[in-house]
Structure 1
Amino acid sequence: MAAIDQLQSLPPALSVVVWLYLLTNAARVFTYLPQILAVWRDTQGARTLSLLTWGSWTVSHVCALAYALLVANDTPLALISAINLAGCSCITAIATRRRMQWRRSLADAAPGRGGRASSAPCPGAQRPRPSRWPRLAPRSRSSPSA
């Protein structure tokens, strides 16, 4: 209850900021789910996902959690940081595993190992669904007339 009392004692503008922070971070939990599913279903090594970016977000949430617990002694901030840490960690871990599986499948399929070089799907991954969008043909490069 102390947190609610503190919130009520804030000026109205700061109270709005606090509530916006809480609401946007609560909604953020649901934004991790589509990304987790997309990475889980990826068969090409999650190459479109930046491991550096997601890894840095994971580290930043570790720092935010430590700050909330050790410095600010703020339970709501710690809870939000822990949830964001779980989401980022999950995406980073799945993407790292998919990347390793994809590289291993490429190495196993390399010429000289009895396979054929291709971008074979990761073991255990589902095949991608066909896109509902038509694939555009590449533009032809015609030389300008003199």
Structure 2
Amino acid sequence: MLGLTYAAREDGYDFTLLALEDGEALQSFDEERGNALSGPYLEDLDQDGDPELIVPDFTGNVNTAYRIRQLIDGRFEPAGEVSGLGLERDEESGLLGISSRSSAVSYGYHAYVLSDDGLVLVYALESDLADRACVLTPGPAFDAAGQTADALLSVCEAGL
């Protein structure tokens, strides 16, 4: 079993990954911190039994930038960065998604898969309420994720 401790500094965090049976330090690393409104937390985003480390970095008017680390071979390795309102797993598709707002009438949704290479974009979906338009941009993992452009655009356009 593993444990993770951290200490907050003015400009960031110092993390230590521990073996709980004997307290041995297995890994030490640090992360910068901007003005995020919340602290780091662990969550099993991809439901594989291993927690991911989510480190909020910077909070703007609405969106927060997050750095993600995943456990690979008993070490927390960088998996990527996202920005939005909160990273969550979509139970229906199994994808990791984050909604964001770019203006009073423009919203985005980015969907990812988490692989050993980190976060891989499945698609970006932008909606503009003023223009009543949705724009889908497929990512590198789009075909493998089993998504269809028509279905995604239909759901988006129905919400305008």
| Alignment TM-score, normalising by the size of structure 1 | 0.24
Larger radius of gyration: 1
| Alignment TM-score, normalising by the size of structure 2 | 0.22
Bigger relative contact order, structure 1 or 2, given CA contacts below 8 A and separation 6+? 1
Bigger proportion of residues as helix: 1
Bigger proportion of residues as strand: 2
